[in-house]
Amino acid sequence: MLITFGNVAVSGTYPSVAYQLLLGVEADLCVRVGSAVVLDEPHFPIVELRQWLAQWLSAGAVDDFTYTSIEADEDGLLSFQQAEQGDWLVGAAWSTLASPQKISRARLLSACQCFVGQVDAWVASNLHLSVSDVLMDLR
């Protein structure tokens, strides 16, 4: 599984407070499981997704995960559900796939941890901010 982003843009004012950082950093987001594209969406709030994933990971990543943006009208923009034999199903509300994609727990966790780290690195390098420090009050 890969969660990648590109064409990052910062909208509005300099994102120095939590709300601005959560929603003001947008990018083209792509979530792939093998060759299947689960989600391919422009102008996606990558820091907000990063925050939800980081909280899920820090809680042990044992429960199902459902990401719904503060700005979205639809639930489950990205979701992970436990399946049989330790596998997980990866799906998205806007997916064109007929069904969620199956992945191992280890690969799911690795992809999520990698995405969180990449977003943190992009923000640190380009905005000279620590995502964790700015979002500290949201924990």
Q: Residue 15 has what pLDDT? A: 67
Task: Report the alpha-carbon distance of residue 112 to residue 91 in Å, rounded.
Answer: 14
Q: Residue 89 has what pLDDT? A: 95
Token pair of 64 as six digits: 């199902």
Q: Residue 56 has what pLDDT? A: 97
Q: Residue 16 has what pLDDT? A: 67
Mean pLDDT by 10 residues, the chain (139 residues): 96 73 92 94 95 96 93 84 93 85 96 98 93 76
Instruction: Break the chain into its structural domains and give their ranges.
Output: 2-132
Task: Report the alpha-carbon distance of residue 91 to residue 96 in Å, rounded.
Answer: 10
Summarised one tens digit per residue, pLDDT across range 77-108 is 899 999 988 899 999 988 878 788 999 999 99
Q: Which of 94, 114, 88 is nearest to 33 (CA)?
A: 88
Q: What is the pTM of this model?
A: 0.92
